[in-house]
Amino acid sequence: MLTAITIVLITGVGVIWYAYPRWRFRSTMRKRPRVAFEDVYQREFADQGIDYDLAEKLWRRLSDCLDVPYGSLRPSDRYSVELAARKGWEYDDELGAVEHLLRDAARSRSIEFDMRSLKTVRDSITMLCKRNAT
């Protein structure tokens, strides 16, 4: 009986240990006011020769990959600050998946890719979605 209780407690602590930072990140992002992508596009990208459909698709994929509600992602979100894992959780974040997503997008458009040069979501959209980048 004591062994079963110990196993349940250890499992519970493990689940909390794993889930808490994700819950905290999601809850922070959900508190942000929602902004339509159309508004973001008009304000940030329309005058830069950014393809709307491609930018919207990448924006949605980044949002999904980062587990950020679609309307809560911001162009100014920095990978190393707002979207980074909390201290101590650096190896359990979504940024590896983001790098893979961006690398694939760059490869499909024959764009040279270096994740270190991308500091913000804006940088990613700008680099990968220019109309003349193909």
Domain ranges of the chain: 2-133
This prediction's pTM: 0.74
Question: CA dihedral defined by 10, 12, 14, 17, rounded to 10 degrees?
Answer: -130
Summarised one tens digit per residue, pLDDT across range 62-102 is 998 888 888 999 999 998 888 876 665 555 566 778 888 89
Question: Where is pLDDT greater, at 85 or 104?
Answer: 104
With vertex at residue 23, the alpha carbon angle to CA 116 and CA 60, rounded to the nearest 5 degrees, is 50
Helix (H, G, I), strand (E, B) or coil at 90: coil
Residue 123 Cα distances to 3, 13, 103, angstroms: 52, 39, 14
DSSP 116: G
Query: Which residue is associated with the tokens 């689940």?
Result: 15
pLDDT at 56 over 90: yes
Summarised one tens digit per residue, pLDDT across range 15-49 is 666 666 666 667 777 788 899 999 999 999 999 98
User: Given this model, what pLDDT does residue 19 score?
Assistant: 60
Which whole number is the average pLDDT over 95-116? 85
